[in-house]
């Protein structure tokens, strides 16, 4: 197997003119990138009838992924660290607008700008230490918190990526959760060395069902991550609802001959003015 690109040079060096050329001329690469982009857009689950949404393409490169967005009638901004890749995108006259930026420094847009984000084959680069001052955990944290802010509430971000190990997947998902996202991994064709593709699907609007993976028959093909404290459910035997708990506590006090306010329909209700 070829050495992983991430081991060879920093992205702005690795994606030089000759590498960038492949992303406009090599039909095999173009085919793979486009196919993954379309799958990512499917996982983004944009409202069926919505045309003209505004999306972010992270690590947009020569704009192959962005073109899939344009084909579906949506608008996009692409950000990438490589000048050579962006030049190719300009030459190909992609419809999206482009900025040169390092996602590890954050996502430099106003809050709530985008209706969704995709990223194809770029996220694993953030785990690199390419400069002496690079700290992957910090860069991932900056990136995900910046992305979370730049997305409108209820929207999603979908990343196709090539993690080098399970530890790297954990590192990435942990930082995504810390930033406020929920979601998990969707692994298409998990049993095929060639066709296997990993997607990190992130939600801004609280826990949702993960979409199902392709190429899997009746097996567990995705891993949802949740914060521990959120897993507690009301219905489970040992956990009582807030109201039940308060009523029982009052009952105990009464039995002990102590004072307790009578139960009313307001018992255990949250008071106005308190967020929850």
Partner 1 sequence: MKLLTHNMLTSKAIKGVQTGFPLNIVVKKTKTVETEFSSEFIQRMLPKLDWPAFLKAAQTLGVGSQLPDSPPTETTDETVLRSIHHALVEVEVIEGELICPETERKFPISNGIPNMLLNEDEI
Ligand X SMILES: C[S@@+](CC[C@H](N)C(=O)[O-])C[C@H]1O[C@@H](n2cnc3c(N)ncnc32)[C@H](O)[C@@H]1O
Q: Which residues here bind partner 1, judged by CB under 8 A? A: 51-54, 75, 77, 79, 81, 83, 86-87, 90, 95, 97-102, 105-106, 108-110, 112-113, 131, 133, 146
CB of 121 to ligand X, least distance (A): 4
CB of 88 to ligand X, least distance (A): 9
**Cβ contact 111:150 at 8 Å:** yes
The option from partner 1, ligand X, none interacting with 120 (CB < 5 to 8 A, set by class) reads ligand X
**Which residues, in sequence order, are bridge partners of residue 202?**
157, 183
Closest to partner 1 by CB, 111 or 243: 111
Which residues are at the interface with ligand X (CB under 6 A)? 11, 15, 23, 33, 59-62, 64-65, 79-82, 85, 102-104, 120-122, 125-126
Strand, helix or coil at 103?
Answer: helix
Quote the CA–CA distance of 123 and 159 in Å, as a whole number.
Answer: 7
Closest to ligand X by CB, 105 or 263: 105
For 241, the token pair is 């609802």
The option from ligand X, partner 1, none interacting with 157 (CB < 5 to 8 A, set by class) reads none
The option from partner 1, ligand X, none interacting with 84 (CB < 5 to 8 A, set by class) reads none
User: Which residues, at least 6 apart from 152, have a Cβ–Cβ distance to it below 8 Å?
Assistant: 112, 113, 114, 115, 204
Q: 82: closest CA among 5, 10, 8, 12? A: 12
The option from ligand X, partner 1, none interacting with 103 (CB < 5 to 8 A, set by class) reads ligand X
The option from ligand X, partner 1, none interacting with 11 (CB < 5 to 8 A, set by class) reads ligand X
Closest to partner 1 by CB, 69 or 213: 69
Closest to partner 1 by CB, 142 or 222: 142
Quote the CA–CA distance of 88 and 157 in Å, as a whole number.
Answer: 25
Query: Cα torsion at 247, 249, 252, 257 (round to 10°)?
Result: -90
Closest to partner 1 by CB, 42 or 87: 87
The option from ligand X, partner 1, none interacting with 53 (CB < 5 to 8 A, set by class) reads partner 1
Closest to partner 1 by CB, 133 or 276: 133
Quote the CA–CA distance of 169 and 185 in Å, as a whole number.
Answer: 9
- The Cα-based distances of 224 to 45, 54, 165, 227 in angstroms read 17, 27, 18, 10
């Amino acid at each position: 197997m070829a050495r992983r690109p991430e081991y060879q040079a920093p992205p702005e060096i690795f994606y030089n003119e000759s590498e960038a050329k492949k992303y406009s001329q090599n039909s095999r690469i173009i085919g793979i990138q486009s196919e993954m982009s379309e799958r990512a857009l499917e996982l983004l689950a944009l409202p069926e009838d919505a045309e003209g949404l505004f999306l972010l393409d992270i690590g947009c490169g020569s704009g192959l992924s962005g073109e899939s967005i344009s084909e579906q009638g949506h608008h996009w901004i692409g950000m990438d660290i490589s000048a050579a890749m962006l030049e190719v995108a300009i030459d190909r006259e992609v419809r999206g607008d482009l900025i040169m930026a390092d996602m590890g420094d954050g996502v430099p847009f106003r809050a709530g700008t985008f209706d969704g984000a995709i990223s194809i084959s770029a996220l694993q680069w953030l785990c690199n230490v390419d400069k002496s001052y690079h700290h992957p955990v910090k860069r991932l944290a900056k990136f995900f918190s910046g992305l979370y802010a730049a997305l409108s509430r209820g929207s999603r971000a979908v990343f196709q990526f090539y993690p080098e190990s399970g530890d790297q997947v954990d590192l990435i998902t942990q930082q995504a959760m810390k930033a406020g996202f929920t979601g998990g991994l969707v692994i298409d064709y998990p049993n095929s060395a060639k066709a296997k593709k990993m997607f990190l699907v992130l939600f801004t609007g609280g826990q949702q069902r993960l979409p199902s993976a392709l190429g899997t028959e009746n097996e567990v093909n995705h891993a949802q991550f949740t914060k521990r404290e959120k897993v507690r459910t009301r219905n489970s035997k040992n956990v009582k609802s807030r109201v039940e708990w308060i009523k029982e506590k009052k009952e105990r006090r009464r039995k002990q001959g102590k004072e307790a306010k009578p139960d009313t329909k307001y018992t255990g209700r949250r008071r106005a003015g308190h967020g929850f």
